[in-house]
Amino acid sequence: MKIKKFSCHRCGAPKVNAYKNPYVVCDYCGEMIDVDYAAGLEVWNHSEEHTNKYLQMKQKFETNSARYAKQKNKEAYRKEQYDYWDFYYTHYPEYLPPSIPKGEKYKLFITAAADMMADSVFSNPSTEKNDQYTKAYGNLEYYQKNGKTLVKYESFIKMMDVYLELQSDGFRIVYDNPKYQIMHEVLPEEFQLKMKLSQIAQVWIPYLDDQHADAFLTKHKLKHEYVEIEEPQRINVVCEDCKKDLSIPTGALRCICEHCRHENILRKTTHCINCGNENTLPDNWSMMMDCVTCGTELRVVQPLFG
């Protein structure tokens, strides 16, 4: 079978099941592996009507938010942001990180997103980076090629450099603050940044020529190669929460249900290949562990890229 070459940084297994979400989750251990720009683009372009509805609603939220910011009404601004993010993830459920099921954890995540935006606007009176980004955006240069309007790569990269600095500053509000522990748990900084880069790519790749589009995607690790692997053996399980049937590769430890996002624990032990002892997996297990009986180094999940 031909698959995109995603390799789990925790257990080493490849991604073998089809997926729709931009966030790529390991089929063997449930770990979030990466962000797939192409999958995000497919979601964005799924329906022009659907996308246009989002853009219209986003404009309304941005207009209201700008008014509340000007009035220095932080609570109204925070409420508007909460409603926006709730709308965003309801409209595009594929963009919701897979570690967030519906319910209390979802509410905590949306609240943190709203608080983060409010803190960013009201706790940082300096707008230097925002002004720099606005200026870089305004300085984008365009040209015509084969009947298409394209953006000059040099001006685009200048805008992206300022954008990344702006994001880095904004992330400090979140990832350096214990108040936002939920964000550390469900959306670590590296995935937050890559998702934002993926969203930028979805918007701007059509305005770059093929060579520059490839350079940008490669630079930010948004491209993935395809490889052939042997079709894995599978087992069928029923999700503990929504009772949907799931096809799981044999040897998997955990899986996140693609229907309801419930994390199903499939097994908690691994057998030693030397003495046969059954080893209980610790909470923070990694790719390799030592048998508690004979000390043999064990690989927790076997299927790997060659």
Give the pLDDT confidence of 28-60 residue by residue, as tens digits. 998 898 999 888 889 988 899 999 999 999 999
Res 305: pLDDT: 47
Res 270: pLDDT: 87
Q: How many domains does the chain have?
A: 1
pTM for this prediction = 0.79
Confidence check: pLDDT of 22 > 50: yes
∠ CA 107-254-249, rounded to 5°:
130
Res 168: pLDDT: 86
What is the spatial distance between Cα 152 and Cα 43, in angstroms, rounded to a whole number?
A: 27
What is the spatial distance between Cα 231 and Cα 305, in angstroms, rounded to a whole number?
A: 12
CA 113 remoteness from chain centre:
14
Res 106: pLDDT: 93
In a domain, 27, yes or no: no
Cα radius of gyration rounded to whole Å, the chain: 22
Give the tens place of pLDDT for each residue, 115-168: 988 988 887 655 677 888 889 999 999 999 999 999 999 999 999 999 998 888
Query: Mean pLDDT, to the nearest integer, of 249-267?
Result: 89
Q: Which residue in this structure is represented by tokens 């692997």?
A: 229
Q: Which residue in this structure is represented by tokens 């770059």?
A: 208
In a domain, 302, yes or no: no
In a domain, 49, yes or no: yes
In a domain, 1, yes or no: no
In a domain, 280, yes or no: no
Contact between 266 and 237 under an 8 Å Cβ cutoff? The reply is: yes
Confidence check: pLDDT of 306 > 50: no
Give the tens place of pLDDT for each residue, 290-305: 999 999 998 888 655 4
In a domain, 191, yes or no: yes
In a domain, 212, yes or no: yes
Supply 6's token pair. 């995603």
pLDDT band of 90, cuts 50, 70, 90: very high
The boundaries of the domain holding residue 219 are: 36-226
What is the spatial distance between Cα 299 and Cα 295, in angstroms, rounded to a whole number?
A: 13
Mean predicted lDDT score pLDDT of the chain: 89
Handedness of CA 82, 83, 86, 92 (dihedral sign): negative
In a domain, 150, yes or no: yes
